[in-house]
Amino acid sequence: MIHRILVTGGAGFLGSHLCERLVEEGHDVICLDNFFTSQKSNVVHLLNRPNFELIRHDITLPIFLEVDQIYNLACPAAPGHYQFNPIKTMKTSVMGVINMLGIAKRCGARFLQASTSEVYGDPDVHPQPESYRGSVNPIGPRACYDEGKRAAESICMDYRRSNNVDARIVRIFNTYGPRMHPYDGRVVSNFIRQALRNEPITIFGDGEQTRSFCYRDDLVEAIVRMMNNSEGFAGPVNIGNQGEFTIRQLAEMVMEKVGGESKLVQKPLPTDDPTRRRPDIRLAKEKLDWEPTTPLSEGLQKTIDWFRSIDIDDYQPPTP
């Protein structure tokens, strides 16, 4: 069945891949983005497709659209990006989700919220199941993102309970791949950029903190399955790769693949940086019949190949 689908944040790293997939499937896709952390080049190849439309718009402001599915991905996702204007980040999560849920309510559209593993904060349960309620510092520099996303989850569930909106929630763990913004400050993009330029690889803290890295194709597959599951399963559901690596191991893998002469340097650990993170994905397996298939080594190689193919200086850090 062909749907009319709105993808907010559709020009971003994950959003642009999702738009691509939905356009290929023949849906009518409206990509909405304010280009805060992305650029048109991510979707320029879709502009001549008759079933793709691009709107420059900020989701903190209302907009009137007719659609039957909404993927709400608009929100800066990298710490450097979301801390750039923390109040705007909170507004995007809270006012943005209310505006988009308003469209869902009026149109009877199905709604999928891109939440995050950051709702678990610096977790004291490991790996993290969906039932874990998290350990977030509500007043720290990451709170604009973590608490914004937690509030967005609450709002989704209230629209379900009070207004019968079919809102669904995915909690996305660290995801990487081609089209990550080279200057987003995230660990994968930083390490690849630094290695390609023979610059020092910046390890924050002792590098023993862990993350689990999911390749973008696996992620896109999961969120499409979540949107389309016919059981009405609403989540929240964890989406991520269970492989757990220390940041030092990641640095070594990137250096080995890129070659070059970069050396590791240690920098201070940012405030409230989670010590470890790994998703419990049993629920995704059970309800969506999904699990990731791309090993880190393969996904990193594809990401490095993409970084080699672009001019990194075409990408600029975000502006207000």
- Give how many residues touch ligand UDP by CB under 6 A: 15
- Does position 202 interact with ligand UDP (CB under 6 A)? The reply is yes
Q: How far apart are CA 283 and CA 293, in angstroms?
A: 17
From candidates 155, 247, 283, 296, binder to ligand UDP by CB under 6 A: 247
- CB 279, min distance to ligand NAD, A: 11
Q: What does 77 interact with, of ligand NAD, ligand UDP, none (CB < 5 to 8 A by kind)? A: ligand NAD
- Does position 96 interact with ligand NAD (CB under 6 A)? The reply is yes
From candidates 5, 7, 13, 123, binder to ligand NAD by CB under 6 A: 13
- Does position 190 interact with ligand UDP (CB under 6 A)? The reply is yes
- Does position 303 interact with ligand NAD (CB under 6 A)? The reply is no
- Does position 239 interact with ligand UDP (CB under 6 A)? The reply is no
Taking the CA of residue 284 as centre, how many other CA atoms within 13 Å lie in the half-sphere pointing to its CB? Answer: 30
- CB 201, min distance to ligand UDP, A: 8
**Region binding ligand NAD by CB under 6 A among candidate stretches 29-37, 103-111, 230-238, 307-315:** 29-37
Q: What does 178 interact with, of ligand UDP, ligand NAD, none (CB < 5 to 8 A by kind)? A: none
Among candidates 27, 26, 35, 1, which has minimal Cα distance to 10?
A: 35
Pairing mode, strands 245-246 and 210-211:
antiparallel
Q: How far apart are CA 11 and CA 41, in angstroms?
A: 8
From candidates 7, 31, 43, 58, binder to ligand NAD by CB under 6 A: 58
> Between 35 and 54, how does the x/- string for binding to ligand NAD read (CB under 6 A)?
xxxx----------------
Query: Peptide bond preceding 123: is omega within 30 degrees of 0, i.e. cis?
Result: no
- CB 76, min distance to ligand NAD, A: 5
Q: Is 92 helix (H, G, I), strand (E, B) or coil?
A: helix
Closer of 237 and 262 to ligand NAD (Cβ): 237
Q: Which of residues 146-175 bind ligand NAD (CB under 6 A)?
A: 172, 174-175
From candidates 69, 92, 128, 238, binder to ligand NAD by CB under 6 A: 92
Among candidates 62, 147, 55, 160, which has minimal Cα distance to 102?
A: 62
HEC letters along 156-169: HHHHHHHHCCCEEE
Q: Is 217 helix (H, G, I), strand (E, B) or coil?
A: helix
Q: What does 241 interact with, of ligand UDP, ligand NAD, none (CB < 5 to 8 A by kind)? A: none
Closer of 40 and 106 to ligand NAD (Cβ): 40
- Burial group, residue 182, by CB count within 10 angstroms (0-12, 13-18, 19+): buried
Among candidates 2, 28, 26, 1, which has minimal Cα distance to 10?
A: 28
Helix-strand-coil percent breakdown of the chain, rounded to 5? Answer: 40, 20, 40
- Burial group, residue 239, by CB count within 10 angstroms (0-12, 13-18, 19+): buried
Closer of 63 and 269 to ligand NAD (Cβ): 63
Q: What does 240 interact with, of ligand UDP, ligand NAD, none (CB < 5 to 8 A by kind)? A: none
Give Cβ neighbours of residue 273 (< 8 Å, ≥ 6 apart): 122, 204, 205, 209
- Burial group, residue 169, by CB count within 10 angstroms (0-12, 13-18, 19+): buried
Two structure tokens written together for 252: 């070594």
Active site members: 145
Q: Give the footprint of ligand UDP on this chain (CB under 6 A).
A: 78-79, 174, 186-187, 190, 202-204, 209, 211, 247, 269-270, 273
Q: Give the footprint of ligand NAD on this chain (CB under 6 A).
A: 8-9, 11-15, 33-38, 58-60, 73-77, 81, 92, 96, 114, 116, 172, 174-175, 181
